[in-house]
Chain A
């Protein structure tokens, strides 16, 4: 099957620091891929490269049959790549509803009643409908994270990139998030999920990749990866909690 997203030898450095070291991996349509790696490994930088907020020094990124390496971030989103941010980036002076409407009108290119209906439906699904009229700047951290997910969904993505969206959630909230992400998968959306809450990740993903110092050090089935000595070392102490 042709991958929907494919990175080939993608490289990015800031001076002496390499955040992506000839990374190559792919994502199949409808697949859920988990990303593991210690803090500072280059996971979020990899998302920035895929979404276009960072430009690669070398290598190619292909999406849905197109070479998107030189596409702008906005064009990539309109083509179907949406993300959530690890540190929430709300439009603080706009309401929760308006935050999602930006994604629906710009990312998904909807207008009028169609855009309104999508936003209301997504807010309902992500548990934010009751806060639709609240200014995003006044939300709690949990609700800001929910808003990140809601906004990305309103762009109607084919590929959804989730960046540590379960961090800081209670067990029940985490279960609810897992259910939501499973439902998103059922709609055919491909997912790449960076997460330190490993049990949440394992409940959803088909495959794992592990990144360290910007380099892809392992990839494969979740069971196989979690048994790997290298990954155990990286996650020493965290594995026990998972």
Chain B
């Protein structure tokens, strides 16, 4: 090809699939925003829970799937967010909604020294280190007698009532907060991955040796991702505890609920893609709603499914779709096109 040809080319990220997905996504978002007018209380609670899991899974995916930071201790930030919300509202007298915003900042601030500590560890030791940090957080929370110590506490009725007038309004507010956070997390991940820093992070995902040889500061990029993820995970934790109204160290720092299930979601959906955590969450909840009555067998089925997918489709279900049809719902990839295309 001649150099003239390279000048007649341009770069775009929009594809037909992403254009359609944006329109459909906007319609779905509008429908979900209007849920308080068409859905029952139980459906709204379930949907809010789904949104919060999508947030957790998207954040863990950014951490593990892109930055290669396989943390098994993100429950540290879920619990931290929950305890910070309860502490700020019950002990500090801060109104719940501003307190939720503060939990995000607090999560990011605490993630900084934690990162300085655990970034000294590599691979499996890093994973174990994150777990140890989460346990330290859990044990520390159990020492706070003002928040119920080891047995936990509940939000006072006065704080709950201060959220909004009437139960329906409160249910709608907690639902919108969960939906809003989910949209903000997905939006933030998309905007970040489209940025120059996001391109660097995607490069790190694929090859660290080549990344540092091409000018990428790997430590700084990972630090940034860990801190932002810590902040947003704490925010998610605050909303989880607001939805539950009650908090205890074992529930707020649960490895199963906030890390094992999240890893399952990302693995079956497709690690290292934005679509994977969303699809994984929907599958997880479909399984939970239909099989949870089976008790332990339900957990065995989840484990078997995760192992099967890891063996047969290591890139998850979305990875299979992407490989087969080349579809990308979020406009991330840059494509070179001719002026005539």
Q: Which residue numbers of A lie inside 8 Å of B, CB to CB?
A: 51-53, 72-74, 77-78, 82-83, 85, 89-95, 97-98, 101-103, 105-109, 111, 116-117, 120-121, 123-125, 129-130, 132-133, 151, 155
Between A89, A116, A117, A155, the greatest number of chain B beta carbons within 10 A of the residue's beta carbon is seen for A89
Total CB contacts across the A-B interface at under 8 A: 116
- Of B5, B214, B335, the residue contacting A151 (CB under 8 A) is B214
Residue of B nearest to A122 (CB): B6
The answer to whether A93 and B196 have CB atoms under 8 Å apart is: no
A-B contact pairs, 11 of them (CB 8 A): A74-B215, A77-B212, A91-B203, A91-B210, A92-B206, A98-B199, A120-B7, A120-B9, A120-B336, A121-B6, A133-B336
Residue of A nearest to B272 (CB): A93
The answer to whether B3 and A107 have CB atoms under 8 Å apart is: no
The number of chain B residues with a CB under 8 A from chain A is: 32
Between A89, A102, A103, A108, the greatest number of chain B beta carbons within 10 A of the residue's beta carbon is seen for A102
Residue of A nearest to B336 (CB): A132
The answer to whether B213 and A73 have CB atoms under 8 Å apart is: yes
Contacts of A72 in B (CB 8 A): 212, 217
Instruction: Knowing A94-B203, A98-B333, A98-B334, say if A103 contacts B214 (CB, 8 Å).
Output: yes
Chain A nearest Cβ from B67, distance in angstroms: 14
Complex Cα gap A117–B7 (Å):
7
Complex Cα gap A105–B211 (Å):
12
Between B1, B215, B216, B335, the greatest number of chain A beta carbons within 10 A of the residue's beta carbon is seen for B215
Dominant secondary structure at the A interface: helix
Residue of B nearest to A47 (CB): B213
A-facing residues in B1-55 (Cβ within 8 Å): 1-3, 5-7, 9-11
The answer to whether A102 and B211 have CB atoms under 8 Å apart is: yes
Complex Cα gap A46–B2 (Å):
36
Complex Cα gap A130–B5 (Å):
11
User: Is B205 an interface position by the 8 A CB rule?
Assistant: yes
The answer to whether A91 and B3 have CB atoms under 8 Å apart is: no
- Of B196, B207, B213, the residue contacting A105 (CB under 8 A) is B196
Contacts of B334 in A (CB 8 A): 95, 97-98, 101
Between A83, A90, A129, A155, the greatest number of chain B beta carbons within 10 A of the residue's beta carbon is seen for A129
